[in-house]
């Protein structure tokens, strides 16, 4: 199976958009339920900053599921009798580990509320909680990356959370599952540690599996096969239960990002490192992790999503020891359209959905709708609940991907070669099938009016940039390459604007470049009202 080209990616996206336009009248918008603790139809409405008990959390989760009903009419109607239902929360760390703080993992009360909903309302035969965290299981003979509590070794199953962080959830996952076994003796309840659940070949060796083609789209990574887990591949119904927070690399983490926990750490870890280090190294593109987030979801896209927005982390995804990092919002997001759910999360966190690369990839695969205008929000109002969370210092929006390129900067750009870059970076030698001393690139920007913002450039070499025929910047870089290392205030006129880049290689380092138009706040978010074209 070959890697998807960016041109095929764009084509798949346009085809999906055309299909949505053609059948829009007959096809209802995807529904996303959005419920805050203040919601008037809850049994006990509470303020957005009020600590919650389990009964209130359950009421919020169940109400969001009711509002975010799938096309089958209800969540329980979508789950076929006798199904194996897997509930996948985010439990990346346990409380003693330095990376943990409240808001880092899925609230155990949300996990319990989802488990209770499926157990009491559906006819599922087996209900499994599955997660792969950055801690070794009790059965792992290795001694690094283990967690102890009271002098005894623990893992996700028997770690006792007590009553401080998640009051009313029960002390341990084992205890929670035992409660449900007693209450529902006709159903099977268990836990699977995905860190060790790798698919193996006939000889027992870990097996790489090609990314399934969805909507004609294969892998977004440089490597097209992944190690995956049996549970995620083989279950009948996957219920995705992530936590909503900011991520240092991909901007936001919720439904798609939760799939990192489905990658088996037993093969993606390194000696003494029990996290998916090799997954990052093997499958990132231009330092972004979005490709492997989107790829892992293709093996079994979520059948339904319930997002914990009670507490989350701003600035970065794990504990940075800043007192204001944890943000309480007291809300729940629910729906079967995974792209739509993550687009709503992006808006809630103060991001523009179009800036999130993995949302474009999910939409290209046909996994949902990323345009907020194409999503029906049921329950509370999205605009009222959206706020500006602190973004990572390294954050920047998805760079331009479509270019006209040439080795002759003085020729007419209309005759230049059209090229779609695979990631944020335009590699001139790849685009033009060979090296040369001088290159040129062109792109157009359509502006909705007079717009002011910033042009962010990543560069290796020398560059001269003109905007609408006027030179606006010259730069040279021979040190470390990074997107946004050069920033220039720009003004766009209404309608079409043309950017031209003349780039020279310096020494023996290949010339490369990335360009992003950033809004007036200069915080990495894209310039609203500006659209790249060629």
| pLDDT at residue 436, rounded to an integer | 84
User: Is there a single domain that holds both residue 149 and residue 264?
Assistant: yes
Q: Are 159 and 96 in contact (CB under 8 A)?
A: no
**Phi/psi at 505 (5° precision):** -70, 145
| 272: nearest Cα among 86, 401, 143, 431 | 143
Retrieve residue 102's tokens.
């409240």
Q: Would residue 392 count as lying in a domain?
A: no
> 259 and 172 in one domain?
yes
Q: Is residue 174 one of the residues assigned to a domain?
A: yes
Structure letter (DSSP) for residue 198: B
Is the distance from CB of 121 to CB of 248 less than 8 angstroms? no
Together in a domain, 106 and 243: yes
The mean pLDDT of 76-100, rounded to a whole number, is 97
CB–CB of 28/47 below 8 Å? no
- Check: CB of residue 336 under 8 Å from CB of residue 307: no
Q: Check whether residue 120 and residue 261 sit in a common domain.
A: yes
Looking at the fold, whether 186 and 51 belong to one and the same domain comes out as yes
The rounded distance, in Å, linking the Cα atoms of 296 and 338 is 13
Separation between Cα atoms, residue 180 and residue 176, nearest integer Å: 7
**Where in the sequence is the domain holding 449, given as residue range(s)?**
402-533
Judge whether 395 lies within some domain: no
Check pLDDT > 70 for residue 19: no
Q: Transcribe 405-442 into DSSP letters.
A: EES-TTS-GGGSEEEE-SSS-EEHHHHTTS--SEEEEE
The tokens describing 418, both together, are 């059209």
Average pLDDT over the chain reads 94
Helix, strand, coil in percent for the chain, rounding step 5: 25, 30, 45
Q: How many alpha carbons lie under 13 Å from residue 279 in its C-beta half-sphere?
A: 27
Residue-wise pLDDT tens digits, 40-67: 999 999 999 999 999 999 999 999 999 9
Q: What is the domain count for the chain?
A: 2
Structure tokens at 176: 């929670």
**pLDDT tens-digit profile of 136-150?**
999 999 999 999 999
What confidence score (pLDDT) does residue 4 get? 52
Is 242:258 a contact under the CB 8 Å cutoff? yes
Kindly give, in sequence order, each residue whose CB lies less than 8 Å from that of residue 15, ignoring residues fewer than 6 positions away.
215, 216
441's torsion region: left (phi>0), alpha (psi -120 to 50) or beta? beta
Which helix (H) or strand (E) segment is 466 a member of? strand 451-467
Q: Which of 385, 411, 437 is the last residue of a domain?
A: 385
275-303 as b/e: b if 16+ CB within 10 A: bbebbbebbbbbebbbbbbbbbbbbbbbb
Scan for tokens 């966190």, then name that residue.
349
Question: Is residue 394 one of the residues assigned to a domain?
Answer: no
Kindly report, residue by residue over 367-416, the tens digit of the pLDDT. Answer: 999 999 999 999 999 999 999 999 999 999 999 999 999 999 999 999 99
Kindly state the helix (H) or strand (E) to which residue 180 belongs, with its residue range: helix 173-183
Both 144 and 26 in one domain: the answer is yes
- pLDDT of res. 508: 87
Q: Verify that 469 and 506 share a domain, yes or no.
A: yes
Determine the pLDDT at residue 27: 59
Distance of CA 520 to the CA centre of its chain: 25
Query: Average of pLDDT values for 173-187?
Result: 97
- Which is nearest to 491 in space by CA: 472, 465, 511, 512? 472
pLDDT in tens, 403-452: 999 999 999 999 999 999 999 999 999 999 988 899 999 999 999 999 99
> Given 356, 385, 414, which residue is the final one in a domain?
385
The answer to whether residue 416 sits within a structural domain is yes
Instruction: Say what angle helices 108-121 and 173-183 make with each other, to 10 degrees.
Output: 20
Cα–Cα separations (whole angstroms), residue 42 to 56, 61, 168, 300: 8, 10, 18, 33
In a domain, 393, yes or no: no
CATH at 459:
2.60.120.260
> If DSSP codes are grouped into helix, strand and coil, which group holds residue 76?
helix
- Please count the helices (runs of H) and the strands (runs of E) in the chain: 13, 24
Instruction: Report pLDDT for 15.
Output: 47
Comparing CA positions, the residue from 188, 160, 182 lying closest to residue 173 is 160
Does 315 reside within a domain? yes
Single out the residue of 338, 324, 351 nearest to residue 293, CA to CA.
338
Question: What is the value of pTM for the model shown?
Answer: 0.94
In a shared domain, residues 148 and 252: yes
Cα(290)–Cα(256) distance, integer angstroms: 9
Cβ(133)–Cβ(258) below 8 Å: no
* Cβ within 8 Å of residue 500, ≥6 positions away: 409, 413, 440, 441, 442, 465, 466
Residues 6 or more apart whose CB falls under 8 angstroms from that of 144 comprise 136, 272, 274
**Residues 353 and 425 occupy one common structural domain:** no
Establish if 397 belongs to a structural domain: no
Q: Is 380 found in the same domain as 252? A: yes
14 CB burial (10 A radius; 0-12, 13-18, 19+): exposed
What average pLDDT score do residues 16-27 get? 44
Residues 248 and 183 in one domain: yes
Regarding whether 91 and 221 lie in a shared domain, the answer is yes
| Each residue's pLDDT tens digit, 500-514 | 999 999 988 999 999
| 47 compared with 5, residue with greater pLDDT | 47
| Triad 123, 127, 132: Cα angle to 5° | 155
Q: Which helix (H) or strand (E) holds 147?
A: strand 147-149
Q: Are 529 and 446 in contact (CB under 8 A)?
A: no
Q: Of 385, 414, 435, which residue is a domain's last?
A: 385
Mean pLDDT of 144-172: 94
């Amino acid at each position: 199976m070959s890697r998807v080209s960016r041109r095929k990616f764009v084509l798949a996206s346009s085809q999906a958009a055309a299909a949505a336009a053609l059948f829009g009248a007959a096809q209802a918008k995807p529904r996303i339920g959005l419920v805050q603790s203040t919601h008037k139809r809850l049994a006990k409405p509470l303020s957005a900053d009020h600590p919650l008990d389990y009964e209130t959390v359950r009421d919020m989760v169940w109400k969001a599921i009711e509002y975010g009903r799938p096309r089958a009419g209800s969540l329980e109607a979508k789950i076929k009798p006798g199904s194996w239902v897997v509930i996948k929360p985010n439990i990346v760390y346990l409380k003693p580990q330095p990376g943990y703080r409240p808001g880092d993992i899925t609230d155990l009360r949300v996990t319990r509320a989802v488990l209770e909903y499926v157990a009491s309302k559906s006819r599922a035969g087996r209900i499994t909680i599955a997660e792969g965290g950055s801690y070794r299981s009790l059965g792992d003979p290795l001694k690094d990356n283990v967690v102890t509590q009271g002098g005894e070794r623990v893992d996700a199953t028997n770690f006792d959370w007590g009553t401080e962080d998640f009051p009313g959830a029960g002390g341990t996952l084992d205890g929670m599952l035992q409660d449900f076994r007693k209450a529902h003796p006709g159903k099977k309840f268990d836990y699977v540690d995905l860190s060790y659940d790798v698919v193996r070949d006939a000889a027992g060796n870990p097996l790489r599996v090609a990314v399934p083609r969805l909507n004609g789209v294969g892998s977004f990574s440089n490597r097209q096969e992944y190690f995956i887990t049996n549970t995620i591949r083989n279950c009948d119904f996957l219920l995705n239960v992530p936590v909503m927070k900011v991520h240092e690399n991909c901007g936001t983490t919720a439904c798609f990002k939760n799939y990192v926990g489905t990658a088996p750490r037993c093969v993606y870890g390194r000696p003494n490192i029990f996290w998916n280090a090799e997954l990052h190294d093997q499958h990132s593109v231009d330092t972004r992790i979005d490709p492997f987030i989107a790829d892992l979801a293709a093996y079994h896209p979520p059948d339904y999503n319930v997002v914990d927005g009670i507490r989350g982390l701003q600035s970065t995804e794990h504990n940075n020891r800043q007192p204001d990092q944890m943000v309480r919002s007291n809300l729940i997001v629910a729906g079967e359209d995974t792209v739509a759910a993550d687009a709503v999360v992006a808006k809630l966190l103060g991001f523009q959905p179009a800036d999130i690369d993995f949302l474009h990839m999910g939409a290209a695969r046909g996994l949902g709708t990323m345009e907020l205008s194409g999503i029906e929000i049921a329950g509370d109002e999205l605009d009222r609940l959206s706020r500006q969370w602190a973004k990572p210092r390294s954050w920047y929006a998805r760079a331009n991907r479509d270019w006209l390129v040439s080795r002759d900067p003085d020729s007419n750009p209309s005759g230049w070669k059209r090229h779609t870059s695979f990631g944020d970076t335009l590699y001139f030698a790849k685009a033009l099938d060979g090296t040369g001393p001088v290159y040129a690139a062109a792109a157009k920007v359509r502006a909705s009016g007079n717009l002011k913002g910033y042009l962010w450039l990543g560069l290796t070499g020398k560059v001269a940039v003109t905007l609408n025929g006027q030179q606006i910047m010259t730069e040279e870089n021979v040190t470390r390459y990074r997107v946004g290392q050069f920033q220039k205030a720009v003004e766009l006129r209404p309608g079409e604007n043309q950017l031209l880049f003349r780039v020279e290689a310096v020494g023996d380092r290949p010339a490369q470049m990335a360009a992003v138009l950033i809004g007036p706040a200069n915080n990495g978010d894209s310039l609203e009202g500006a659209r790249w074209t060629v």
